[in-house]
Structure 1
Amino acid sequence: MPIILGIDGGGTSTVAVLSDETGQVLAKVVGGSSNPTAISRLQFESELAKIISKLKEQNENAFEKVECCFAGLSGVKELSFEKIAKSVIQQFYDDTVSIIIENDACIALFSGTLGMPGIVQIAGTGAITYCLDSHNNSYRAGGWGYLFDDEGSGYDLGREALKAVVKSYDHRGTETVLTEKVLNHFQIDSVTKIVDCIYNDEHPRAIIAPLSRYVIEAAEEGDYVAQVILSRAAQQYILAIEACASQARWDVRKELPTVLAGGVFTNFNLFYDVLMKQPMNFQLQFLQPKLIPVGGAIIGGLKQLNEEVTTEFIQNFAEQMKMKY
């Protein structure tokens, strides 16, 4: 019975899990950031080693039986940290253990396609599109940062909400329920006080990105301005998805599995409807993730070992991650 070590490493936290092919969660550790673009190399190595050590302490018997480690780590590709990450993990295992280092977008994809080729559109605080084709070639679009990219991200939607509110106040734009929602969010009674809320010591992304949920709420309520904002975001998603799809090589020309991952897509049905109204050059099959991203890492490990991803695995892993932890 093979045991997989799966790691989901991000800028805020890192989740590491030991699981077998039936989805039994044998150990789980949550640690700090493991994104090398946000921390030093020394901190990166230290955090990764600390997380793996805690897994070993939690269930040494299962830890010693690991056959594959599959890690999806944000920032490792940008800084070419794959070898560094692999060397940290290799301190705990001999050469018989397969160690695969990918970016976090890969495991987000696998959490929806269950290890099959496809595309993932990620929209959280930032936004990026990732594609893995039938020949194991990967492509990406977007993700260049909030200052001049990340269209369709939580930050982007929040910024558009603020623009809509101030334009409405100035009579440069249409009235919108976003005004009331944003004022309530900041607990202020006038649009003129918004500037003080935004321009303070806190990073603007942390202040603006949470406003994206009000765009989604307002769109659900039928607010025209919010619906236009979501429609524009959907145009950018399709543009990025098709930019990746057009470079890829697909064995079968059919609907391309396209996973919508990240906090922005909490209301999957709303975004599905908005996306399906956009003109497309490809047939896209929009999917919700079936597991959290670390589940995609376990699936990546199962795939590496040529193990089948069963319905039993999906059900057990999802239930255990929800109930036990």
Structure 2
Amino acid sequence: MNESLFLGIDGGGTKCRARLRDAEGNFLGEGTGGPSNIRLDPDLVWNSILTACREAIAQAGLQEADFKRIHAGMGAAGAGQTSAVERLMSRPHPFASFSIDTDAHTAWLGAFGGGDGAILIVGTGSCGYGGVGGRRYYVGGWGYEISDEGSGAAIGREALRRAIWAYDGRMASSPLSDAILSEFGNNPEALVDWVGKARPSDYARYAPLVLQHALQRDPLGIRLIQDAAAGMAQIATRLLDLGAPAICLFGGLSEPLRPWLPPPLQQAVTQPKADALDGAILLGREASPRRPR
């Protein structure tokens, strides 16, 4: 019972997921925990991680003492910030080894098994990431205020901007702009108050509304979704130009927006070999000591 075990952890802003496999890759268990963006308080993050891991090992019929033979890999939101990684790793952990990288990296590891390829994540935010010839590339993902093209937050931001244009008479109103303005009582001051407190997820809440109106041939909805797809296409094209042979799409908006991409880019899209949790397991395997044969 001293065989190594491998745990993959996917840490996001709202929840943490963990998956446990044995040395042969057999599935043993999964678990979930709370928020685990590592820019949060490290004690909170470790609590979320360990909650998910305890659930996974319990499902596998294992005990807490088995942590010491687990090699863990974590793909985490916020792991691109060195200071956040250092804060998290300043706390002790119970694992045989623990490796951390960005959630984009582990999604890519899962999608291509460490081989050449690129991923495009399109959800509340957006980010392109690729690995080609041993080199890693990030494209986009600098935050919705100045980047994150094609994301839910960017779509919502632009929808609200255009609604104000319609209110001012700078562009023709549409059912979509009317629907947005009605949420604020047709009062731009109420919208400005809302913007002062809004987070990216608040903006992203408008993306489904925009998609719905686009499919109903609302001219504003169509224009916004075309612009979002163009932003996605720009990121994807850059990744292909860097040498990626194919692209995998991730995130809640990737499939709804995929039909709006130019046909050549749609043809470059492929299905991932595995998900981000298995990518995190691969990260843990890569960092674990190799046994002599």
Q: TM-score, structure 1 length as denominator?
A: 0.71
Q: Name the residue aligned to 2:205.
A: 210
Give CA-to-partner distance per residue, 1:247-278, whole Å, 9 cap, x none. Answer: x4x5xxxx7221221122242xxx33322158
Where 1:203 maps in the other structure, the secondary structure is coil
C-alpha distance 174-289 of structure 1, shift in aligned 2 (>3 A)? farther
Counterparts in 2 of 1:119-198, with a 5 A limit? 119-135=118-134, 137-182=135-180, 186=183, 190=185, 192-193=186-187, 195-196=189-190
C-alpha distance 91-293 of structure 1, shift in aligned 2 (>3 A)? same
C-alpha distance 206-101 of structure 1, shift in aligned 2 (>3 A)? closer
Establish whether residue 225 from structure 1 lines up as the match of residue 220 from structure 2.
yes
Q: How much does 1:212 deviate?
A: 0.9
> Which runs of at least 4 in structure 1 moved beyond 6 Å after TM superposition?
302-305
Give CA-to-partner distance per residue, 1:36-64, whole Å, 9 cap, x none. Answer: 22x13343344434443444444353883
Establish whether residue 118 from structure 1 lines up as the match of residue 117 from structure 2.
yes
Give CA-to-partner distance per residue, 1:265-292, whole Å, 9 cap, x none. Answer: 242xxx33322158x7xx9612355765
Give CA-to-partner distance per residue, 1:78-130, whole Å, 9 cap, x none. Answer: 1255566567685332xxx6x43221012333454455431111122222111
C-alpha distance 56-285 of structure 1, shift in aligned 2 (>3 A)? same
Where 1:33 maps in the other structure, the secondary structure is coil
Match of 1:275 among 258, 261, 264: 261
Q: How much does 1:300 deviate?
A: 5.0
In the alignment, is the contact (CA less than 8 A) between 2:6 and 2:72 conserved in 1?
A: yes
**Which runs of 5 or more residues in structure 2 are unaligned?**
289-293
C-alpha distance 112-74 of structure 1, shift in aligned 2 (>3 A)? same
Where 1:263 maps in the other structure, the secondary structure is coil
Match of 1:7 among 1, 6, 9: 9
In the alignment, is the contact (CA less than 8 A) between 1:3 and 1:62 conserved in 2?
A: no
Give percent identity, aligned residues only. Answer: 26
Where 2:138 maps in the other structure, the secondary structure is strand
Q: TM-score, structure 2 length as denominator?
A: 0.78
Between Structure 1 and Structure 2, how many residues are aligned?
283
